Structure 1
Amino acid sequence: MYTPISFALLVTSSLFCQLVTSQTHESTELHLIHRVVHPDLPVTPWAELGTVTVPSFKSISPTGSAASLSLAESLRDDLTEFSEAVDPNMQGAMYHVAIERPESEGPVSSIKACLLPSSTSANVVIHFSATGEPFAIDYSVSPVPQDGICPVTNMGSYPAHNASVVLKSPRMAPLPELRIPPPLTPEGEPVAPVPEKSFVQKYWIYMVVVLGALLISGPAEDSPSGDGKGGK
């Protein structure tokens, strides 16, 4: 029979487990926003980039799980406004991609705006904490010159990439391998290792047995003449 207090604790525990389970297994959505900035120009306001459908946190692999990105309907119009506000070929122009949060600005990824006009694809990596919260985002485009220098181009627009999205959960660090401490003497000094025995010290008993057997057997007797003939 449950007491009123134990019954209340049981119900509270059950509701908490159901809440954690639903948060862990239900899919959610993350809204990505973007903008372009230049230190000498007014800050361009954030615009909607798209929505990422995030599956249950338990299904996200530390090495990366693919997710889908639905681009915003106003994306092309926003990119046109970006190019009118900040030319991507201007020295110092940057392109920002962030995770939208209602209470504050979420994690932001930044790349050179000059890398966008000649790019053909984009990639987004979102990192999650152990509690399932996104805490970092990486945005990149390709191709990019190996030296990272902006390519020479006359295009002054920002392309609309249907970027691939990868979700990553935290990875456990390897545990340190601890060595067994050496044995100590009562005085606290390491015990000196026992010197290894030589070959004679290890097998002297067998050598004595073999030598004794040879001494007991004595010298080999000469065999008698086998021709049976002898002269007088």
Structure 2
Amino acid sequence: MKAISLLLAFLTTAYGADYKLHHRVFHPQLPVSQWTEHAIVSLGGDGPQFQAQPRISQDFQSFSDSLKSATNDLNEALYQVALQPSADAADNEWSVSSVKLCHLLGTTSQTVVLYLTSEEAPYSLNYFLSPTPHGGSCPPLIMDMAKPLSHVQLNTTLSLRMPSSPPLPELRAPPSLTPEGKIATPVPEKSFIQKYWIYIAIGFAVLSMCMEPRSLSVSANCLRSADGQLRAYRRGPGTSKVMCIISPDPGLLRAGTQCLSLLDRP
């Protein structure tokens, strides 16, 4: 029973806790004002809920009254929102987010981003207003800002951010070392001939075996006929054509050579 009670207490603390948000106006020319309660954030099983305090308009009116004595430079006025992480946390331990107070005049929505620990307890926040002028400049009629502050009404968006680990850096592999502890010199890459010379040699050998000398094939076509004449033929596809007829004479070898030379002509 004790273990079950502790588990229920943990679940109530982690998933059913309420956290307070406070707000105030800060100006460097004025004394630091006190925080007032702005809203209550509930992290329950039905999802996060944002509950604004009903006296929010009175707070903005109080902010307007506090700015009446700071008419020199209202552009420096800030609207601050703070997260109270626990009931006993002092205000110097709160997480604070600031925006320009003048942006409240033309904005229609506010966004509260709560950052959670691994136990799903908020520890920090970011506060945004939208829309805001490009460049963050204040409206021209900044001197009349104190009047409409009490009429500010904002739509609220509450967002929760769980902790995440950054991506690990991609480190290069360390260089290999020799037994003496020195950086090993990389082996130079072989050239194309060095890599494939054996295949090139085999290819040349196969080609040389397949190609016979032309003189041998032509001499096979030189035949001696029955009448003693030396006839030379060039065999084409499907037929034979007589190219020369040489009568025998003492210079038969010379005549055969002339016949072969004639066959070599195109």
Q: TM-score range by the shorter chain?
A: 0.7 to 0.9
Q: Which residue of 1 aligns with 2:194?
A: 201
Question: Which of these residues, 133, 144, 149, is aligned with residue 121 of structure 2?
Answer: 133
Provide the rounded CA distance (Å) in 1 between the counterparts of 2:25 and 2:158.
21
User: Residues 14 and 119 of structure 2 are in contact (CA less than 8 Å); yes or no, is this contact kept in structure 1?
Assistant: no
Q: TM-score, normalised by structure 2?
A: 0.66
Question: What does residue range 45-60 of structure 1 map to in structure 2 within 5 Å?
Answer: 45-55=34-44
Q: Which residue of 1 aligns with 2:51?
A: 70
Structure 2 alignment gaps of length 5 or more? 222-232, 235-239, 248-266
Question: Which of these residues, 22, 25, 29, is aligned with residue 18 of structure 2?
Answer: 29
Q: Which residue of 1 aligns with 2:241?
A: 227
Q: Which residue of 2 aligns with 1:8?
A: none
User: Residues 21 and 40 of structure 2 are in contact (CA less than 8 Å); yes or no, is this contact kept in structure 1?
Assistant: yes
Using the TM superposition, give the Cα deviation of residue 161 of structure 1 relative to its aligned residue in structure 2, in angstroms: 1.5
User: Residues 67 and 164 of structure 1 are in contact (CA less than 8 Å); yes or no, is this contact kept in structure 2?
Assistant: no
Q: Which residue of 1 aligns with 2:101?
A: 113
Distance 1:42 1:203, change over 3 A: closer
Between structure 1 and structure 2, the one with the greater Rg is: 2
Amino acid at match of 1:93: A
Provide the rounded CA distance (Å) in 2 between the counterparts of 1:73 and 1:201.
86
Does 1:102 pair with 2:87? yes
Amino acid at match of 2:120: G
Provide the rounded CA distance (Å) in 1 between the counterparts of 2:16 and 2:242.
110
- Higher helix fraction (1 or 2): 2
Amino acid at match of 2:87: P
SS in 2 for 1:52: strand
Q: Is 131-140 or 14-23 further displaced after alignment?
A: 14-23
User: Residues 68 and 165 of structure 1 are in contact (CA less than 8 Å); yes or no, is this contact kept in structure 2?
Assistant: yes
Question: Which of these residues, 206, 212, 215, is aligned with residue 205 of structure 2?
Answer: 212
Does 1:86 pair with 2:67? yes
Does 1:178 pair with 2:159? no
Provide the rounded CA distance (Å) in 1 between the counterparts of 2:127 and 2:100.
11
- The RMSD of aligned alpha carbons is 3.3
Using the TM superposition, give the Cα deviation of residue 172 of structure 1 relative to its aligned residue in structure 2, in angstroms: 0.3
Using the TM superposition, give the Cα deviation of residue 151 of structure 1 relative to its aligned residue in structure 2, in angstroms: 0.8
Q: Which residue of 2 aligns with 1:7?
A: none
Amino acid at match of 1:86: L
Distance 1:19 1:173, change over 3 A: farther
Amino acid at match of 2:166: A
Amino acid at match of 1:99: L
User: Residues 14 and 121 of structure 2 are in contact (CA less than 8 Å); yes or no, is this contact kept in structure 1?
Assistant: no
Q: TM-score, normalised by structure 1?
A: 0.74
* Greater RCO (CA < 8 Å, at least 6 residues apart): 1
